[in-house]
Structure 1
Amino acid sequence: MAPLAIRACTATSAVGRGRDALAKALAEGRTGLRRNDFGDDARLDCWIGRVDGLETVELPASLQPWDSRNNRLAWLALAQDGLRAAIDDAVARHGAERVAVIVGTSTSSIGSTEAAYTALEDGEFAERFARPHVHTPHSLGEFVQQATGLRGPCITVATACSSSAKVFAQAARMIDAGLVDAALVGGVDTLCGSVLFGFNSLQLVSSEPCRPFDATRNGLSLGEAGGFALLERANDGDTGLQLRGYGESSDAHHMSSPHPEGLGARLAMRDALARAGIDAAEVGYLNLHGTATPANDSIEAAAVASLFPDALHASSTKGWTGHTLGAAGIVESTIALIALERGELPGTLNSDTPDTACGPQIRFAPQRADIRYSMNNSFGFGGNNCSLVFGRA
């Protein structure tokens, strides 16, 4: 594929607001996880990655019809790392109608819908919850378009935990087809009862901070996050970061479990490398999906070992942020870009006992190394897989 320039990129999570906060937490080995203190749902014994300050974020009057925890986090994330200036620059050069909005989310504003149903009045939503813009899967996409003034195609991708990785692939196809000249991509997911108790009902939530790829791992820690990136065609004179390849696949195996041999994961990674036009040995860092559930980690590790040499540095960063579901793709792509830009390759926080089922690619300790390419894996329920390759121009 033709490289796409990444003009701006940002992520806000439990470790802080923006790329610098994320890079600092990674370098210091400082987790954003804490014991569950999420309102009425705090009765669930687990650890969460919660973004502080969302309760006091105030949207402008014109955006009040979209007010929800999810959209407040989107508003917060849009204000970081010069993203607004990059959007304005793209609009000045291409026009608002030529810049797409492509965002991923797994639950959108369902937390607000839950609250509305718990406060029904005579079977109807109370006036304070009667906001039809919020109670739809497209709440996030519509909100971001309204908040930015962009007028190109507006798409919400909802493929569970691969959602905000797949937005990069969607943007690449739309730009290549000439439908748009640039795309604001990203994703936002926030904590709510459906998320916490839904995953707990599947017996996937740990009562301790998650330990990806550790021999004693016993489940995930849920988190919330939001982030965005602005993509456009690369120019000959570009010197910055680029999207170089993507790969997508579907296991078609099970509603919530990956293929036992990792066939879909391997296909996604192989296609991403092929589109980037590089060999697996050229990848310096791979951010793994690494949820810390027993089956997912061992299957992903085996898929990685089947494609990559022992020298690869691969790690899961969910010990910092928690599993941010539909936002995992954008947050962990940002981490892959930080590794590419700064040469700081994160380890796997909280994990210290290697699982013998995992290959030498899985690293618990951080490393410094100048790398040319990095990757990110995001795998979701239903076998939705997406792998991305990033490079320096």
Structure 2
Amino acid sequence: MRKVYLGNHQIISPLGFTSLQNLESVSQGISAIKKHKSSHVGEYYAGHISTNLLDEAFLELGKVEEYTKLEKMMILAVAEVLQQHSEISKDKIAFIIATTKGNIDTLSEENLFSKEKAKLPALAKTLQEFFNLKETPIIVSNACISGGLGVSVAKKMIENESYDHAIVVGGDLVSEFTLTGFNSFQALAKEICKPFSKDRTGINIGEAAAALWVTSVKPKIDAVQIIGEATANDANHISGPSRTGEGLYISIQNAVREADIESHEIDFISAHGTATIFNDEMEAIAFNRAGLKNTPLNSLKAYYGHTLGVSALLELIFTQESLLQNKVFKSLGFKEKGTTKALNVITKTEEKPLNITLKTASGFGGCNFAMLLKKETV
């Protein structure tokens, strides 16, 4: 079986339009989440990308009026990753799109774009035409594990020698649909969210896009290899997580089995950590069942909000960089243990020797995802 590596990447978010800007902001403890007001939900906290700044950045690539906000975000991310591999024919690269709701904002009466753009195949077609791709990109839309699952799909395609390389791009928006939906669950926090903390009250929504190069070619500098991945669905409830953490536990166990390691070899966990009462409790139970209660862990949701379908991809990029930089990022918002099971939540951004890391995610319908990364030094 061929080895599969993670390569260069790009993040488009309220914290910046490059991965470097995002990494620096998180290192400094800066949150993208601000107070906003909506006629539908009143005051809310979320991470919005400035439309003016986005349009200014997009001008070099195309006409801003011809593309939706999400399309511009995704195109900016993919263009930067592709630029680093201009010598490779695009016909040799698999393109995978990960999103939960795509251009859902086009269904709004105020939106000037065709409502046909709300269909996910239309999003894929737009990216295909913009980048002049021979084949239509593959769409992965499986709730909040979509971004991670997109990388799993890329890994399998490379292992099976269907492609040598892949670009996984993910993106989602803060929209009327998502805001009113989570508000109906009484799940929106009235402050910056606090994952795993005793005083957590719910989630913030965020918007971002991210693109990641996945390849069979080992980088000439320090490399990050995918050594194990798995997904499992416990079908617990359409929106509520399992009370036993079953699906997440099975995902972790299967990823560990593929990687042929023991759980104590995992140096760090990038958790889903949405800051809802039920999700964080579920994760704590699953991590304890997997023998990981003492493993350092964080959540990035207080920096970005829950970016839905791109969250696992964005956070996987941070996990990759944690390995390469031997650095763990503070779990912003955490004050005091807020789960019935013990967790080792990171309270300070600092350097730490890392060799193997675990990224996990969970989503509506009982879906769960786990991916193990390992550093290979030159």
1:366 matched to which residue of 2?
Answer: 349
Q: Say yes or no: does 1:297 pair with 2:291.
A: no
Q: TM-score, length-normalised on structure 1?
A: 0.88
1:122 matched to which residue of 2?
Answer: none
Once the two structures are TM-superposed, the CA of residue 268 in structure 1 deviates from its matched residue by 0.9
Q: Say yes or no: does 1:329 pair with 2:312.
A: yes
What pairs up with 1:136-285 in 2 under 5 angstroms? 136-152=119-135, 154-235=137-218, 239-285=222-268
Question: In structure 2, what is the Cα distance between the partners aligned to 1:143 and 1:11?
Answer: 20
2:114 matched to which residue of 1?
Answer: 130
Question: In structure 2, what is the Cα distance between the partners aligned to 1:97 and 1:63?
Answer: 25
Moved more, 284-293 or 21-30: 21-30
Q: What is the one-letter code of the residue matched to 2:20?
A: D
Contact 1:69–1:112 at 8 Å: present in 2 too?
no
Contact 2:2–2:158 at 8 Å: present in 1 too?
no
SS of structure 1 residue aligned to 2:120: coil
Question: In structure 2, what is the Cα distance between the partners aligned to 1:151 and 1:19?
Answer: 28
2:104 matched to which residue of 1?
Answer: 110
Q: What is the one-letter code of the residue matched to 1:150?
A: L
Contact 2:280–2:339 at 8 Å: present in 1 too?
no
Once the two structures are TM-superposed, the CA of residue 79 in structure 1 deviates from its matched residue by 4.4
2:336 matched to which residue of 1?
Answer: 353
Question: In structure 2, what is the Cα distance between the partners aligned to 1:151 and 1:281?
Answer: 45
1:99 matched to which residue of 2?
Answer: 93
Q: What is the one-letter code of the residue matched to 1:331?
A: L
What pairs up with 1:82-97 in 2 under 5 angstroms? 83-91=81-89, 96-97=90-91
Question: In structure 2, what is the Cα distance between the partners aligned to 1:236 and 1:14?
Answer: 29
Q: What is the one-letter code of the residue matched to 1:17?
A: F
Once the two structures are TM-superposed, the CA of residue 186 in structure 1 deviates from its matched residue by 2.3
Q: What is the one-letter code of the residue matched to 2:24?
A: K
Once the two structures are TM-superposed, the CA of residue 41 in structure 1 deviates from its matched residue by 5.0
Q: Say yes or no: does 1:32 pair with 2:32.
A: yes
Deviations 1:317-366 (A, max 9, x none): 11101100011011100110111111110121122122252413333333
Contact 2:32–2:47 at 8 Å: present in 1 too?
yes
Once the two structures are TM-superposed, the CA of residue 198 in structure 1 deviates from its matched residue by 1.1
SS of structure 1 residue aligned to 2:146: helix
Question: In structure 1, what is the Cα distance between the partners aligned to 2:61 and 2:92?
Answer: 27
Question: In structure 1, what is the Cα distance between the partners aligned to 2:217 and 2:294?
Answer: 30
Contact 2:171–2:310 at 8 Å: present in 1 too?
yes
Once the two structures are TM-superposed, the CA of residue 62 in structure 1 deviates from its matched residue by 7.2
Question: In structure 2, what is the Cα distance between the partners aligned to 1:265 and 1:360?
Answer: 16
SS of structure 1 residue aligned to 2:87: helix
Contact 2:105–2:118 at 8 Å: present in 1 too?
no
Once the two structures are TM-superposed, the CA of residue 241 in structure 1 deviates from its matched residue by 2.0
Q: Count residues in correspondence.
A: 374
Contact 1:99–1:152 at 8 Å: present in 2 too?
no
Once the two structures are TM-superposed, the CA of residue 151 in structure 1 deviates from its matched residue by 2.8
1:75 matched to which residue of 2?
Answer: 75
Q: What is the one-letter code of the residue matched to 1:271?
A: N
Contact 2:281–2:339 at 8 Å: present in 1 too?
no
- RMSD of aligned alpha carbons: 2.4
SS of structure 2 residue aligned to 1:36: strand
Question: In structure 2, what is the Cα distance between the partners aligned to 1:31 and 1:236?
Answer: 32
Once the two structures are TM-superposed, the CA of residue 71 in structure 1 deviates from its matched residue by 0.6
Question: In structure 1, what is the Cα distance between the partners aligned to 2:122 and 2:201?
Answer: 34
2:363 matched to which residue of 1?
Answer: 380
The change in CA–CA distance for 1:200 and 1:310 in structure 2 (over 3 A counts) is closer
Q: TM-score, length-normalised on structure 2?
A: 0.91
Question: In structure 1, what is the Cα distance between the partners aligned to 2:221 and 2:58?
Answer: 37
The change in CA–CA distance for 1:203 and 1:310 in structure 2 (over 3 A counts) is closer
Contact 2:100–2:141 at 8 Å: present in 1 too?
yes
Deviations 1:98-145 (A, max 9, x none): 21111110110011222xx457xxxxxxxx53374x231123333333
Question: In structure 1, what is the Cα distance between the partners aligned to 2:349 and 2:219?
Answer: 34
Q: What is the one-letter code of the residue matched to 1:7?
A: G
Once the two structures are TM-superposed, the CA of residue 169 in structure 1 deviates from its matched residue by 1.0
1:125 matched to which residue of 2?
Answer: none
Deviations 1:134-174 (A, max 9, x none): 23112333333333333346211111111111001111122
Once the two structures are TM-superposed, the CA of residue 181 in structure 1 deviates from its matched residue by 2.1
Runs ≥4 residues deviating over 6 A:
59-66
Q: What is the one-letter code of the residue matched to 2:54?
A: L
SS of structure 1 residue aligned to 2:267: strand
Once the two structures are TM-superposed, the CA of residue 63 in structure 1 deviates from its matched residue by 7.3
The change in CA–CA distance for 1:313 and 1:2 in structure 2 (over 3 A counts) is farther
1:391 matched to which residue of 2?
Answer: 374
Deviations 1:71-93 (A, max 9, x none): 1111232344xx122342332xx
Percent identical among aligned pairs is 23
SS of structure 2 residue aligned to 1:23: helix
Question: In structure 1, what is the Cα distance between the partners aligned to 2:337 and 2:270?
Answer: 17
Question: In structure 2, what is the Cα distance between the partners aligned to 1:343 and 1:366?
Answer: 11
Moved more, 279-288 or 135-144: 135-144
